[in-house]
Structure 1
């Protein structure tokens, strides 16, 4: 079966922000029946990387792959699910796209919030394994149960 995921090439950060808002903001997404929120406020973090001084800078390489996020959430591509116990975030890996998204439980909205996205680039196998070691692997049923549990019992403040 043929699967296609777009790469979007624009000229400026503001054009990418506009496209991000058009595709993701105020849209309804769910992963395995769990709502996923994507906010304009998260654009700067999702599509930036630290420079040599540690300051975060817009990363066109990430931004042009923004449609990978949708492909992962909508399960257009095969995914692997994980939970990072130290952060409380959920990881959704895609071998097909060489990337991962991280989702945070957002109890006040009973949803998951997109926290970040990154591709592994040329060191995919090494980086994929490094990120996977941080996670407890989950099957879809356990993923849903873990998310629901954190959405209904979390005393954490959304931040």
Structure 2
């Protein structure tokens, strides 16, 4: 094996590097995180925990206990950074719901995206006004978005 001109490719350190590169590229192509789901959750918790503790302290001091609703959501949004953005779930900004196959995201002519249910609710038959830029458009011109 030492007589081969490629024997340096068989060193364990090189194989570890190749394995890591292959895993990183495969996960990138598939839109997956390189880290385990448990590691992602723990890291997200570590990022948000100081802000949650501060929010709890402020709410306790200023008697804002009723601010938290009965829904499973926080009253504020946390930016976890670009490292935690690896999936393609679209939540409709109008209805505050995740889109599904039966309620897919749609792209309006103006370039804004909303869910199909929101489009039908905002539509008065022949015309719909974009909730962001107020551009009037035909709801039939909206196109489904595929992630």
TM-score, normalized by length of structure 1? 0.24
Greater share of helix residues, 1 or 2?
2
Larger RCO: Structure 1 or Structure 2 (Cα < 8 Å, ≥ 6 residues apart)? 1
TM-score, normalised relative to structure 2: 0.26
Q: Which has the higher strand share?
A: 1
